[in-house]
Chains A and B, each alone.
Chain A
Amino acid sequence: MTDTLEAAPQAKRRKRFNLTRWARGGGLHAVLFAVPVVLVYAYFSWGPVIQGLVLSFQKTNLIQPAEWVGWSNFTYVLADPGLVQASLNTAYFALLALVFGFPIPIVLAVLINELRKYDSLYNALAYLPAIVPPVAAILLWKFFYDPNATGMFNTALGWIGLGPFPWLNAENSAMPSIVLYATWAGAGSTAIIYIAALSTVRTELYEAAEIDGAGIWRRIWHITLPQLRNVIFVMMLLQLIGTFQIFTEPFLFTGGGPNNATQTILLKIYNYAFVNGDFGAATALSVLLAAFLGLLSVAYYFVTKRWSTS
Chain B
Amino acid sequence: MMKLSRRHVLAAGSSGAVLAATGACSNPGANGEAEELDPSADVTISVGDQPTEDKPEELAAFNERVAEFEAANGNITLEPSAEVWEAQTFQAKLAGGTLPTVMGVSLTYSYELIENGQLPDMTPYLDELDLTKDLNPLALDNVKDDDGNVYTIPTGLFSVGIAYNRNVFEQAGLDPDTPPATWDDVRAFAQQIKANVPGVTPYAQMTTNNTGGWMLTTMTYANGGRIQDEAGTESVMGEETIAALQLLHDMRWTDDTMGREFLFDQEGVRQAFAGGTIGMVLQAPDAYDTLVRDYGFDPAHFGIGQLPQGGSGANGTLTGGTLKLFDAKATPNQLLAAAKWIKYYDFDKYYDETVALDDAETNAAAGNPVGLPGLPPVSQEIYDRYLGWIEPHINVPLEQFASYTSSTLPLIAEPPAGTQQTYAALDPVVQQILTDEHADIAQAVADATEVLNGIIAQAAR
Residues of chain B from 17 to 39 with CB closer than 8 A to chain A in the complex: 30
- Would A64 and B435 be within 8 Å (CB), given that A257-B207, A274-B88 are in contact? no
Is there a chain A Cβ closer than 8 Å to B451's Cβ?
A: yes
Chain A residues positioned under 8 Å from B451 (CB to CB): 80-82
Contact B88 A258 (CB under 8 A): no
Contact B434 A80 (CB under 8 A): no
B-facing mask of A266-278, CB < 8 A → 1, else 0? 0000010111111
Is there a chain B Cβ closer than 8 Å to A10's Cβ?
A: no
Nearest A-chain residue to B436, judged by Cβ: A171
Residues of chain B from 369 to 422 with CB closer than 8 A to chain A in the complex: 418, 420-421
Contact A276 B261 (CB under 8 A): no
Interface segment among B68-76, B298-306, B333-341, B423-431: the answer is B423-431
Nearest B-chain residue to A168, judged by Cβ: B263
Complex Cα gap A254–B30 (Å): 39
Is there a chain B Cβ closer than 8 Å to A259's Cβ?
A: yes
Contact A76 B454 (CB under 8 A): yes
B-facing mask of A260-289, CB < 8 A → 1, else 0? 100100000001011111110100000000
Is there a chain A Cβ closer than 8 Å to B116's Cβ?
A: yes
Contact B91 A277 (CB under 8 A): yes
Query: B208 touches which one: A82, A170, A254 (CB < 8 A)?
Result: A254
Contact A148 B260 (CB under 8 A): yes
- Given A80-B454, A258-B428, 19 further pairs, Cβ under 8 A: A61-B95, A61-B118, A62-B97, A63-B118, A79-B454, A147-B260, A169-B261, A170-B435, A255-B265, A259-B436, A271-B424, A273-B91, A274-B91, A275-B88, A275-B421, A276-B418, A276-B424, A277-B95, A281-B458
- Would A258 and B116 be within 8 Å (CB), given that A59-B461, A147-B260, A278-B458 are in contact? no
- Would A254 and B91 be within 8 Å (CB), given that A81-B451, A169-B435, A170-B435 are in contact? no
Is there a chain A Cβ closer than 8 Å to B329's Cβ?
A: yes
Complex Cα gap A281–B424 (Å): 16
Contact A63 B461 (CB under 8 A): no
Chain A residues positioned under 8 Å from B427 (CB to CB): 255, 257
Of residues A61, A72, A81, A170, which shows the largest number of chain B Cβ atoms within 10 Å of its Cβ? A61
Chain B residues positioned under 8 Å from A81 (CB to CB): 447, 450-451
Contact A63 B458 (CB under 8 A): no
Is there a chain A Cβ closer than 8 Å to B312's Cβ?
A: no
Chain A residues positioned under 8 Å from B457 (CB to CB): 76
Complex Cα gap A59–B96 (Å): 16
- Would A63 and B116 be within 8 Å (CB), given that A69-B461, A257-B208 are in contact? yes
- Would A147 and B261 be within 8 Å (CB), given that A76-B454, A79-B454 are in contact? yes
Chain B residues positioned under 8 Å from A52 (CB to CB): none
Nearest A-chain residue to B208, judged by Cβ: A255
Is there a chain B Cβ closer than 8 Å to A45's Cβ?
A: no
Contact B431 A258 (CB under 8 A): yes
- Give the Cβ gap from B349 to chain A, nearest Cβ, in Å: 33
Instruction: Please tell me the number of chain A residues within 8 Å of chain B, measured between CB atoms.
Output: 40
Of residues B90, B207, B428, B447, which shows the largest number of chain A Cβ atoms within 10 Å of its Cβ? B428
Contact B88 A164 (CB under 8 A): no
Complex Cα gap A271–B421 (Å): 9
Is there a chain A Cβ closer than 8 Å to B196's Cβ?
A: no
Chain A residues positioned under 8 Å from B420 (CB to CB): 275-276
Residues of chain A from 2 to 54 with CB closer than 8 A to chain B in the complex: none
Contact B87 A275 (CB under 8 A): yes
- Give the Cβ gap from B31 to chain A, nearest Cβ, in Å: 8
Contact B432 A259 (CB under 8 A): yes
Contact B117 A274 (CB under 8 A): no
Chain B residues proximal to chain A, CB less than 8 Å: 30, 87-92, 94-97, 112, 116-118, 199, 207-209, 259-263, 265, 328-329, 418, 420-421, 424, 427-429, 431-432, 434-436, 447, 450-451, 454, 457-458, 461
Complex Cα gap A69–B31 (Å): 23
A-B contact count (CB 8 A): 114
- Give the Cβ gap from A232 to chain B, nearest Cβ, in Å: 36
- Give the Cβ gap from A39 to chain B, nearest Cβ, in Å: 23
Chain A residues positioned under 8 Å from B89 (CB to CB): 274
Chain A residues positioned under 8 Å from B209 (CB to CB): 255
Return the 8 tightest CB-CB contacts between A and B, nearest first. A259-B432, A277-B91, A258-B431, A147-B260, A274-B92, A62-B95, A258-B435, A259-B431
Complex Cα gap A145–B408 (Å): 42
Complex Cα gap A255–B267 (Å): 14
Complex Cα gap A283–B73 (Å): 45
Q: List 18 A-B contacts (CB under 8 A).
A: A61-B117, A61-B118, A63-B30, A63-B328, A69-B461, A76-B457, A147-B262, A169-B262, A169-B435, A254-B208, A257-B207, A258-B431, A258-B434, A263-B428, A275-B88, A275-B90, A276-B420, A281-B458
- Give the Cβ gap from A19 to chain B, nearest Cβ, in Å: 49
- Give the Cβ gap from B458 to chain A, nearest Cβ, in Å: 5
Residues of chain A from 232 to 263 with CB closer than 8 A to chain B in the complex: 254-260, 263
Chain A residues positioned under 8 Å from B329 (CB to CB): 63
Contact A260 B94 (CB under 8 A): no
Chain B residues positioned under 8 Å from A146 (CB to CB): 261
Chain A residues positioned under 8 Å from B436 (CB to CB): 171, 259
Chain A residues positioned under 8 Å from B112 (CB to CB): 277
Chain B residues positioned under 8 Å from A276 (CB to CB): 91, 418, 420-421, 424
Is there a chain B Cβ closer than 8 Å to A166's Cβ?
A: yes
Complex Cα gap A169–B207 (Å): 11
Contact B435 A171 (CB under 8 A): yes
Chain B residues positioned under 8 Å from A263 (CB to CB): 428
Complex Cα gap A309–B115 (Å): 59
Chain A residues positioned under 8 Å from B118 (CB to CB): 61, 63-64
- Give the Cβ gap from A150 to chain B, nearest Cβ, in Å: 7
Contact B421 A259 (CB under 8 A): no
Of residues B90, B260, B421, B451, which shows the largest number of chain A Cβ atoms within 10 Å of its Cβ? B260
Complex Cα gap A232–B451 (Å): 43
Contact A148 B259 (CB under 8 A): yes
Complex Cα gap A173–B118 (Å): 41
- Would A164 and B447 be within 8 Å (CB), given that A259-B428, A275-B420, A277-B95 are in contact? no
B-facing mask of A281-310, CB < 8 A → 1, else 0? 100000000000000000000000000000
Complex Cα gap A170–B354 (Å): 55
Complex Cα gap A260–B454 (Å): 18
- Give the Cβ gap from A48 to chain B, nearest Cβ, in Å: 15
Nearest A-chain residue to B434, judged by Cβ: A258
Chain B residues positioned under 8 Å from A63 (CB to CB): 30, 94-95, 116-118, 328-329
Chain B residues positioned under 8 Å from A148 (CB to CB): 259-261
Chain B residues positioned under 8 Å from A164 (CB to CB): 260
Complex Cα gap A64–B114 (Å): 12
Residues of chain A from 71 to 125 with CB closer than 8 A to chain B in the complex: 72, 76, 79-82
